Structure 1
Amino acid sequence: MAGFAWAALTVMIFSGWFVVTRFGVTRELRIWDIAALRFGIGAVLLAPAIVRRGSRLSAAAWGEGLLFAVLWGVPFVLVVALGLKLTSAAQAASVAPTLMPVFAGVFAWGFLREPQGRLRWFGYGVIATGLGCLVRAGAAVHGAPDALGIVALVVAAAMWAIYTLLFRRSRLTPIQSAALICVWSTALYLPAYTFFGLSRFSLASPGEIALQALYQGVLMSGVALISYNRAVSLLGPSAATAVIALLPAAASLLAIPFLGETPSPAEGMSIVIIVLGVLLASRHAPARRVSTNRV
């Protein structure tokens, strides 16, 4: 139950993130500003967890953190933000979080030899079917989605799934992983962001900057990273990622009052199908059989 509680908190924050990020990239701020706020503020808040006396990490841990930053740091945010700019909050929240558990299950089965069980495979199939219906229903109402935007979101889903599987096998704590992602992302990204003069903060209103700073820097880089890592630790990667697939429903509801993006009845039914797939895919996988030889 604790694992599902952490996953539910993550869903709440992530669903709002798709809405808030699309709100930002369709106004004065750009993708580059969103990434700078997210990881710059996150690094300031979380750096003490890995640099204070008595908590120094090994070189191997820093290397692992660099890999995590590549998978779920600035590159991930930039790819998702590109998908958000070219599609919509509902479409982006439907593709990336929905395909992520499917990728995680397939990767875990193919590379880690972790059995998934018939119900989980069926759940993955239902999730993928619901996603296909959702994209098709959205195209009938809003027009065909941008191909580059969809590809960007699919790539983001694969990156998210790989990070999830690697973190499950890591010895880093949820806070350490979140801190390393933010610190590495800031160290590698902010110099280029400053050198090339990518900032548009002078064009945005103080309220818009404050909203993005709070959501990107505090909630996403701090609370959501830690809560998601905690959910993965308690539930396992397959179950945790399956719960995250509930994001389309939450994000679609939030997009109605804040962005005026109302899903059609067909899109609503597709989301229901995805939720049913989540319920199946989040079930415990069968234990791996261990052969015993009698003497």
Structure 2
Amino acid sequence: MRDGRDVQGYGALAATVLLWSSFALSSRAIGTSSLTEADAALVRFAVPLLVLAPLLPRTLRALVRERTATVALVLVGGLPHYLLFALGARLTTAGLTGLLVPGTVPLFVTLLLLGRQPVPPRRVAALAAIVAGVAASATMIDAGASAAGIAVLLLAGAAWAVYTLGLQRTWLQPLEIAVTVAAVSTLGALTAALTGAMPSHLLTGAVRPGDLLGFALLQGIGTGLLSTLCYAYAVRRLGSSIAAVGGALSPVVTALVAIPLFGEALGLGLTVALVLVVAGVYVFNTAPRKSRRARRTPGFSGELVGA
């Protein structure tokens, strides 16, 4: 029975890695589709909102009991993070997009908590490897990536770190978090499109049905629902360390798939960056943690990437 559960856990983890990679790859493809960033955001958040709509009353009751500051931290992981991710993907490559955002989250979380908790030497070494990997990614400027794009991706990583801290503080349950982020982000994207703050082809009927269906499946269902459920299942079956380390393989998968899909090259700069960042994430997530009480939702990991 144990072996069966392990097989199911590794299957869920493999599905998570593929879904996270599909998020980075599909975000990179926004520029070649008939959707704008606002359209893609609407699809990404409106689809899971429709699926989880029956949970809205329960979520509203839970939000009344939650602190406003904590809710604000959680919401940073919605539309703000998505738009930064999409813009960074347009200005760089799929390989860098899949690497820099999830890879720098441990670094930014540590910086945000600097002085509040000690950082073990092993994690310091891991963070140094991540910083070195980010520096190596700079060699790709003018080779499919721009300095502005790399900077935007780093901001997206910082936004996800803020979201991660919000997850650690909130009493909201996972599905309540998903409903909250999806509802507010949908309203934000819709407002931006209706007011003309961001262009929209979806509202004018200029979107190709195939593009709409593809993004609804990959980002709305895949990233919005399935990746979260698969990752949570993998954590339960395999433990958080194995799941986190397995999740670190997502940038590698993204970079490899981007070669035939977008014609990107796996050059020396990206290879070095991949090795350093993935190694840093591996060491960071496998470093021993001191036992401490934390306000974390039971059974929910705050290390998810790509929502």
Q: Normalized against structure 1, the TM-score is what?
A: 0.81
One-letter identity of the residue aligned with 1:179 = V
Q: Does structure 2 retain, via aligned residues, the 8 Å contact 1:104–1:241?
A: no
Tell me the CA shift for residue 147 of structure 1: 2.6
Structure-2 residue corresponding to 1:192: 192
Greater shift in the superposed pair: 198-207 or 19-28: 198-207
Q: Could you tell me which of 130, 138, 141 is aligned with 1:139? A: 141
Residue 246 to residue 129, structure 1, CA distance change in 2 (3 Å): farther
The residue aligned with 2:129 is 126
Deviations 1:19-39 (A, max 9, x none): 111112233211111101111
Taking every aligned residue pair, what percent have the same amino acid on both sides?
28
Q: 2:39 aligned with 1:26, yes or no?
A: no
Q: Which residue does the alignment assign to 1:292? A: none
Cα distance 1:286–1:77, how it changes in 2: closer, same or farther (>3 A)?
closer
- Give the match for residue 282 of structure 2: 279
Residue aligning to 2:46 = 40
Quote the Cα distance in structure 1 between the aligned partners of 2:41 and 2:167.
Answer: 22
Structure 1 residues 34 and 181 mapped into 2: Cα distance closer, same or farther (>3 Å)?
same
d(CA) in 2 for partners of 1:284 and 1:265? 28
Residues 1-295 of structure 1 correspond to what in structure 2 (within 5 A)?
A: 9-51=15-57, 56-61=61-66, 63=68, 66-68=71-73, 70-110=75-115, 113-136=116-139, 138-139=140-141, 142=143, 145-196=145-196, 198-201=199-202, 202-226=205-229, 235=240, 244-287=247-290
Deviations 1:187-231 (A, max 9, x none): 333233234383213333221111011112111222234556788
CA contact (8 A) 1:178 1:225 kept: no
Code of the residue aligned with 1:260 in structure 2: it is G
Is there any run of 5+ residues in structure 1 with no aligned partner, and where? 290-295
Where structure 2 has 5 or more consecutive residues not aligned to the other structure, the ranges are 1-5, 293-307
State the SS of the aligned residue for 1:72.
coil
2:257 and 2:64 map into 1 onto residues whose CA distance is 42
Work out the number of aligned pairs and report it: 281
Contact 2:105 2:158 in 1 (8 A): yes
Distance in 1 separating the partners of 2:240 and 2:120: 16
- In structure 2, distance between residues paired with 1:155 and 1:232: 27
Aligned-residue offset at 1:123: 0.9
Aligned match of 2:302:
none
C-alpha distance 66-225 of structure 1, shift in aligned 2 (>3 A): farther
Cα distance in structure 1, aligned partners of 2:9 and 2:155: 26
TM-score (norm 2): 0.78
Distance in 2 of aligned mates of 1:5 and 1:169: 30
Please state how far the C-alpha of 1:55 moved relative to its aligned partner.
8.6
Supply the distance in 1 between the matched residues of 2:127 and 2:12 (Cα, whole angstroms).
22
Kept in 2: contact 1:240–1:282 (CA 8 A)? no
> Is the alpha carbon distance of 1:44 and 1:62 closer, same or farther for their aligned partners in structure 2, counting shifts above 3 Å?
farther
Tell whether the 8 Å contact from 2:26 to 2:215 is kept in structure 1 after alignment: yes
